[in-house]
Structure 1
């Protein structure tokens, strides 16, 4: 029987599920899983996960005491909620889960380090080894410096919101475990700014990840490349052979229900033979390249803003949910 595109992809690339939906992860059986504030917010609103949300809220309320405001409880609860979803996901998958640091700390190196240590500590208290966790941090210069320190402590990092080669090189030189260049968001920017549509290898997001992958393999960096944020299966097909790809359940299902040949597009041996110039990276070079790359600077600030807004929405959702629980408890006490 002919193999599906997903079966062939798994033979050359580690497939990761990009979702906070535990049921969807059970269906697609990925090696790893990634979450972000938007995905956790979406999952937290699904009826089947209300017991998880309620449990986290009540624990946070107990921890802070009776005098705590709903807002303070919600603020503590959202940190624990991502970890609670992460713990459940790790019961299903054999590999690692990525859990994100508060996006509002994206330009705060010390704040990012402190939060990352807290996340790891909460997982370890639950009996989960730090080897199974990737801390997601935005690819700002400050975030990359935080990741460099965390990696020295044996805390593995996944640098996200990555759009430009300068961000990727800085991450590789900092020795981070993994980077997540955003294919679909790059495509979105070019479509909006040029009015053109792009297909296959012409897709600027595909070209960006291909360039980063080839650069890393050419110069022997250990940092792995995980293409993320896909808009269609065509982008995934063009990146077959990438170290990892994190894919939504919907696109995983499309790949699993499609048969046909899937040739390898990214190959470390070909990359080693490629004519690529090395770019020495320091803060001045990073800042200059970032300022010159309008797409990367636009999408990084927009991504941080979007994830920060998702966190605020989640906090509001949790505060509302807590008020409902308290109201029910008051009624039953009466």
Structure 2
């Protein structure tokens, strides 16, 4: 399973890269705003800065919700760097845009997916990736990981090539569960990835080794 970091923070992206486990980045206007990045020129430059760090897909989200607007924005984003994946919302006009981009060999990430039916529509349109938001599904008292498994099984049965990108991951446990059910990618904050390193027995064992080393 590939690890993407969900942020616009360059320092965190660099830290994940330096760990040697970073495969890509997802970001959105909310994450850009959180970093104080405003204005079209600044946003476009920031995407380029991210691509300079990451040797892998970088999802860049469109703002428009109409077909022509999404196509215009998506083409500008895709022209920034070969690693850019155009992030398109799961709406009717979005499906049209995904089909257009697929026909023109531009990679897409269909976002805001909350059902298997939506995932089928995205795959049929030719999405490169589909992003079910498992944390938000859990918040609504449904089972987000179960949806990931359902979509993975559907895609395997039907032979769809779209990758399943588990999004809205909140905890290290989410990452493990998504790996268990066959997600192709997970995207999450750096804290969730680093959290996979933690175990009290590791801490106890290391402390014991260091203590014993002092007696040598």
TM over 0.5: yes
Aligned to 2:11: 23
The structure 1 residue matched to 2:172, chosen from 215, 233, 238, is 233
| 8 Å contact from structure 1 (residues 83, 99) kept in 2 | no
User: How do 1:262-301 and structure 2 match up within 5 A?
Assistant: none
Cα 1:259–1:166 change in 2 (3 A) is farther
Give deviations 1:287-316, integer Å, cap 9, x for gaps.
Answer: xxxxxxxxxxxxxxxxxxxxxxxxxxxxxx
Counterparts in 2 of 1:119 and 1:231: CA distance versus 1, 3 Å:
same
* Contact 1:82/1:99 (8 A) holds in 2: no
2:144 maps to 1:223: no
- Write out aligned runs for 1:125-144 (5 A): 128-129=81-82, 132-144=83-95
Q: Which runs of 5+ in 1 are unaligned?
A: 1-12, 45-52, 54-73, 191-202, 261-334
Query: Which residue of the partner structure matches residue 204 of structure 2?
Result: none
Residue aligning to 2:52: 91
**What is the distance in 2 between the residues matched to 1:101 and 1:160?**
11
Q: What whole-Å deviation, never above 9, does each CA across 1:265-286 have from its counterpart, x for those lacking one?
A: xxxxxxxxxxxxxxxxxxxxxx
Partner of residue 33, structure 1: 25
Report if the CA contact (8 A) 2:167-2:187 is conserved. Answer: yes
**Which of 1, 11, 14 pairs up with 2:2?**
14
Say if 1:93 and 1:256 are closer, same or farther in 2 by CA, change over 3 A. farther
Cα distance, 1:232 vs structure 2: 1.9
Structure-2 change in CA distance of 1:256 and 1:82 (3 Å): farther
TM-score under structure 1 length normalisation: 0.56
Structure 2: tracts of 5 or more residues without a match: 202-216
Would you tell me which structure has more helix in proportion to its own residues? 1
Give the alignment's TM-score, normalised by structure 2: 0.85
Deviation at 1:258, TM superposition (A): 4.2
Is residue 177 of structure 1 aligned with residue 128 of structure 2? Answer: yes
Superposed displacement of residue 43, structure 1: 1.4
Equivalent residue number for residue 242 of structure 1: 183
Deviations 1:68-126 (A, max 9, x none): xxxxxx6xx2x333322221111111112110000xx23x11211111112223x1xxx
Q: Does residue 1:147 correspond to 2:86, yes or no?
A: no
Asked which structure has the greater CA Rg, the reply is 1
Higher relative contact order (CA 8 A, sep 6+): 1
Change over 3 Å in CA distance of 1:247–1:114 after alignment to 2: same
Alignment of 1:34-113 (within 5 A): 34-44=26-36, 77=39, 79-102=40-63, 105-106=64-65, 108-113=66-71
Q: For the Cα contact (< 8 Å) 2:137–2:144, is it kept in 1?
A: yes
